[in-house]
Structure 1
Amino acid sequence: MNVKRKWLMILGFVFVLTVLAACGNSAIQSGSNSDSSQTDSSAEQQGDSESNKTVKIGSILPFSGVYASLGKDLSDGMKLYFDSIDWQVGDTKIELIEEDTEADPQVALRRVRKLMDQDNIDILTGAVSTAVAYAIRDEVDSNKLPYLASHAGGNDLTRAQRSDYIWRSSFSSWQIGHSMGEWAYENVGGKMYIAAADYAFGREVSAAFIEAYTAAGGEVVGEVYPPLGNNDYASYLTTIGGVEADGVYGFFAGSDAVRFVQQYEQYGLKGKLPLVGSGWLVAEDLRESIGNAAEGAFASTFWDYSLDTEENVAFVKAYEEAYDRRPTIESLEGYDAARILAEALTTLEGDVSNPDAIVDAISKVSFVSPRGPIEFDKDTHHIIQNMYITETILAGEKTDNTVLETIETVQDPGE
């Protein structure tokens, strides 16, 4: 091989190496650009994810069984408020996951576990039955799951069974019964007979009424507790009719209220002894079934359709436009619970990573609701609210309620 040919081969080899090196650098640079592009894309996706955070709210309500209508009204009230804010606070989206408790404590417990373990909820709300609320209490507490009870009214939920993670936006048995006691003494008379359904809530409400009524100077001249779901009150009403009294305090709800109030008139007590009780005795969704027998009844409640305030008028209008029916007290409870949670999430800027911060934010929520001004008692975790004394009147061919008196800022005493 001559020298000239050797040099040509060396030069060719160097050229190939140079080209390969250039291609390698290009490939490396291309790979570097590709990785950088993927990183930027991932960052953009993460940014999009952060700007579209989703908070999961679990709701346990009865959608079947005896309390199904209450569950539906609570659900519709919640959805009405979330609709009004487009299911979003700031850059955080709200997802509502509902489960049917069937008003059964053991079913409810399974549903709550499902919401926590499978759906990974951040906050829990709901429960109509006090027995359901008590059944899930330990599960909520041990898992530090923030829970806003939106209906169940048993006293112990914010007393003996109080938990750092449970707050209640509805009412307590004590608030319902106690608020009527002094008013009944001053406006009905000094002797009262008690008739209430024989279950925990009926007993608690009656005890609270008796506490306030006797403290005001009244005397309870007799008590009777018919079983829950009773059809015939004849024997009880006959007994009441033979007692010297100024009035009767009755706690009944649902179909029991319909039958008791109707039979109260049928047995001649309506014109003889004024009937006083809780708002459920002559509730918005019952009076049509009760008919004119409800006329003249007095009741204590924390909300009524007839409240003539800017907030309530707007709420009623929005609810009727959305659902083509009147709202009930449960509709209002759902609406307020949704707003409380939304306002807490606004304070947190959607950050639900710390359950203690969530309940702290809930505790600080206050606003003027369709029911009036509301806030939380930070010791009992219970709502502070107005109570109203109503009278059922005949309005044309139907009955309606009218507010007679407002008892302001009623605060459950706790233990």
Structure 2
Amino acid sequence: MLPYSGTYAALGEAITSGLKMAVNARGGKLGGREVEYILLDDESNPGKGPENASKLIAGDKVDFLVGTVHSGVAMGMAKVATDTGAMLIIPNAGVGAATGPLCAPNIFRTSFSNWQPAYPMGKVAWDRGMKNVVTISWKYGAGEEQLGGFEEGFTQLGGKIVKRIMLPFPNEEFQANLTEIASLKPDGVFAFFAGSGALKFVKDYAAAGLKSIPLMGTGFLTDGVLAGQGAAAEGVLTTLHYADALDTPENKKFRAEFKAFSGKEADVYAVQGYDSGQLLAIGMDAVKGDTAAGSRAALIAAMAAAEIRSPRGAFTLSKAHNPVQDIYLRQVKNGQEIVLGVAHKALADPAKGCKSA
């Protein structure tokens, strides 16, 4: 249950290709059982989320529900999974509640919480001498949670947020905000935008003459749109749990195999889909393909204890079933995303509100 149309269609396709590649590497079987895929376009429509999830669980009687990208849709899926006990793997949506108040033994995430990639940038900013920072994003769940992560990391060290600017989603008219930023003269700016919004914000930021003020964000500020941003993105600092340029044998092998499998370049979404397939395989191998109620406890225990050998680097799962993973510091240099190092080693989401964490 992923977006196969609209703004996020490419993300849904990348996740699906990654998952299928992981299963194909095991001969198309999990725990000795043939795998059948039922693909449902969630249209990134939160209003249809619960109905679509229920249709797959009750109607198609799926063993596992995998999805989605949009946090609003994921919330609906998580509520249905909690009510029915269905196995849910979230391969992208970062909504905090999924591994917070809505956490459950049968809900797993292979991506990130919105807080997770943003929090380490607070220390990066402080260590680079920034004392006063402006934060900016769209006023919706992901924007508020990502800004909150950075603000927590920055202010606990003594930094000050001089202004938090929130725009209606998905507004891409930034000029008045950029004029305000120029007048505030902060030491840096932390932004969360993605897709076309990220593309335009970075270009507008440079065009407004603000390049002397360091621009920071999570990796979504440049991932997938770096080529379009061109010289405007030069110097932009980002933190994320993956980077295309990670110089490891596992990542190089994965990227070559994904290109051969899908005909496209791998990205963070492909990695998350691939790791969803790896997590499925670990669980299914442990119960020899038996998804009946009597094997459910063993299936969940095996998945919860998994160590995933990921292209992003090995990771485990927290008690709330969110990845405990390295967050990388990256910077755009000469049009390329360069990995400067690890901003935070083995970072776990705080899972606020999760009774099992």
TM-score (norm 1): 0.82
Amino acid at match of 1:110: E
1:105-141 C-alpha deviation (Å, 9 max, x unpaired)? 2323222222122321111111111111111222211
Alpha-carbon spacing, 1:230–1:190, altered in 2? closer, same or farther (3 Å): same
1:242 matched to 2:183? The reply is: yes
Amino acid at match of 2:291: V
1:292 matched to 2:231? The reply is: yes
Amino acid at match of 1:326: E
Does structure 1 retain, via aligned residues, the 8 Å contact 2:275–2:308? no
2:15 aligned counterpart, secondary structure: helix
Does structure 1 retain, via aligned residues, the 8 Å contact 2:65–2:87? yes
1:411 to 344, 348, 354: 348
* Superposed displacement of residue 90, structure 1: 4.7
Consecutive unaligned residues of structure 1, counting only runs of 5 or more, are 1-59
Amino acid at match of 1:414: A
Partner of 2:6: 65
Alpha-carbon spacing, 1:195–1:317, altered in 2? closer, same or farther (3 Å): same
1:384 matched to 2:321? The reply is: no
1:100 aligned counterpart, secondary structure: coil
Does structure 2 retain, via aligned residues, the 8 Å contact 1:246–1:273? yes
1:288 aligned counterpart, secondary structure: helix
1:280 matched to 2:220? The reply is: yes
2:282 to 332, 343, 359: 343
1:220 aligned counterpart, secondary structure: strand
Structure 1 residues 43-54: aligned runs within 5 Å: none
Partner of 2:92: 151
Give the Cα separation in 2 of the matches to 1:324 and 1:367. Answer: 25
Q: Which has the higher helix share?
A: 1
Does structure 2 retain, via aligned residues, the 8 Å contact 1:374–1:385? yes
Partner of 2:337: 401
* Superposed displacement of residue 162, structure 1: 1.5
1:357 matched to 2:298? The reply is: yes
1:248-280 C-alpha deviation (Å, 9 max, x unpaired)? 00110111101100000100001x101000000
Amino acid at match of 1:101: D
Q: Which has the higher contact order (CA 8 A, sep 6+)?
A: 2
* Superposed displacement of residue 356, structure 1: 3.2
1:168 matched to 2:109? The reply is: yes
Partner of 2:355: none
Partner of 1:57: none
Give the Cα separation in 1 of the matches to 2:231 and 2:82. Answer: 46
Larger Rg: 1
Give the Cα separation in 2 of the matches to 1:90 and 1:226. Answer: 47
* Superposed displacement of residue 91, structure 1: 2.5
Of 115-124 and 201-210, more deviation after overlay is shown by: 115-124
How many positions carry a matched residue from both structures?
Answer: 349
Give the Cα separation in 1 of the matches to 2:30 and 2:169. Answer: 43
Alpha-carbon spacing, 1:118–1:387, altered in 2? closer, same or farther (3 Å): same
Does structure 1 retain, via aligned residues, the 8 Å contact 2:130–2:159? yes
1:181 to 122, 138, 149: 122
Does structure 1 retain, via aligned residues, the 8 Å contact 2:30–2:280? no
* Superposed displacement of residue 325, structure 1: 2.5
Give the Cα separation in 1 of the matches to 2:339 and 2:111. Answer: 20
Does structure 2 retain, via aligned residues, the 8 Å contact 1:253–1:280? yes
* Superposed displacement of residue 230, structure 1: 1.7
* Superposed displacement of residue 413, structure 1: 1.3
1:255 to 162, 174, 196: 196
Does structure 2 retain, via aligned residues, the 8 Å contact 1:87–1:95? no
Give the Cα separation in 2 of the matches to 1:356 and 1:109. Answer: 25
1:91 matched to 2:37? The reply is: no
Partner of 1:225: 166
Give the Cα separation in 1 of the matches to 2:51 and 2:209. Answer: 48
TM-score (norm 2): 0.95
1:73-102 C-alpha deviation (Å, 9 max, x unpaired)? 111111121222221135322222211100
1:330 to 269, 272, 287: 269
Does structure 2 retain, via aligned residues, the 8 Å contact 1:367–1:374? yes
Give the Cα separation in 2 of the matches to 1:224 and 1:187. Answer: 22
Give the Cα separation in 2 of the matches to 1:358 and 1:146. Answer: 10
1:124 aligned counterpart, secondary structure: strand
* Superposed displacement of residue 307, structure 1: 0.3
Consecutive unaligned residues of structure 2, counting only runs of 5 or more, are 353-357
2:298 aligned counterpart, secondary structure: helix
* Superposed displacement of residue 188, structure 1: 5.0
Give the Cα separation in 2 of the matches to 1:84 and 1:404. Answer: 32
Give the Cα separation in 2 of the matches to 1:325 and 1:167. Answer: 27
Structure 1 residues 188-207: aligned runs within 5 Å: 188-207=129-148
Give the Cα separation in 1 of the matches to 2:92 and 2:332. Answer: 24
Structure 1 residues 362-377: aligned runs within 5 Å: 362-377=303-318
* Superposed displacement of residue 368, structure 1: 2.3
* Superposed displacement of residue 221, structure 1: 1.4
2:44 to 103, 124, 141: 103
Structure 1 residues 106-121: aligned runs within 5 Å: 106-121=47-62
